[in-house]
Chains A and B, each alone.
Chain A
Amino acid sequence: MKFGIQINEGPYTHEASTTALNFVSAAVEAGHEVFRVFFYHDGVNNGTRYTTPPQDDRNIVEAWSELAEKHNIDLVVCVAAAQRRGIVDEGEQERNGKDGNNIAPGFRISGLGQLIEAGIQCDRLVVFGD
């Protein structure tokens, strides 16, 4: 079965992203395809490679990057939400004249249409948030 995932919260304040990570891991383990994870609202904060948690805490951003690479999962950060919250890739850096970028490996910035498309293409869309 083909899954789409929406995440509305950042990596650490809420449990949402951790729940979603565990859910996605279990889904691919069971042989399902996770077509896309769409990060919206503060969920875009899952996509910055500058995240540096203390050593005794999990690195959620890296966990997403690794999971995406291993299972070919499309990690999409909403552009409008990302611009508000300072999540930047090279293209956005150039377009908005910023002095750097912070997007994590495996993530890409794109439009809200990617969420609707996931809803159309996937057999199930599961939302994690607060």
Chain B
Amino acid sequence: MSDTKKFLFVNRKAPYGTIYAWESLEVILISAAFEQDVSLVFADDGVFQIAKGQDTTELGIKNFSPTYNALGDYDINKIYVEKESLEARGLTVDDLLKLTYEDEDDDWAEKDSIHVVSSAELAEIMDQQDVVLSF
């Protein structure tokens, strides 16, 4: 058996109201050091985690949303967002952070990490994983 497994991190909770989003991001960043095949899912209220324009200055909790921009540098570039979850919340991909990575197999071209997929497509992606972590 190969040492590389397909890890999926499922993010379904909004940021700030609870700590789950922030602490899952910490796990995701650590996972990069293990050279596994990592994918992220943002569905349900999880899509709010990667919404643009977060400003926590008045709140006093750290705004961790800029950290998502670093994921591409950690080779975490398979980020799936459920279309139905976006639509249900009146959002489009333009309301989300622009997360990109540089593709080493394509002359370091900058590419989008976020893939908006339908429920059916997402179900298939989730089905293909070895380990599913949820928070």
* A residues with CB within 8 A of B: 6, 8, 40-41, 80-81, 111-113, 115-117, 119-120, 125, 127, 129
Contacts and interface: CB of A to CB of B under 8 A. Distances in A.
Contacts of B26: 80, 112
Contact of B134 (A80, A111, A115, A127): A127
Interface residues of B, number: 18
A40 to B, nearest CB: 7
Given A41-B19, A80-B26, A120-B5, A113 B34 contact: yes
Interface string B2-43: 010101000000000001100100110011011010000000
B23 to A, nearest CB: 6
A116 B134 contact: no
A14 to B, nearest CB: 12
B133 interface: yes
A41 B23 contact: yes
Contacts of A6: 133
A81 B27 CA distance: 11
Nearest to A81: B23
A129 B34 contact: no
Given A81-B23, A119-B5, A120-B36, A111 B131 contact: no
23 contacts: A8-B135, A40-B135, A41-B23, A41-B135, A80-B26, A81-B23, A112-B26, A112-B27, A113-B34, A115-B27, A116-B7, A116-B31, A116-B36, A119-B5, A119-B36, A119-B131, A120-B36, A125-B132, A125-B133, A127-B132, A127-B134, A129-B134, A129-B135
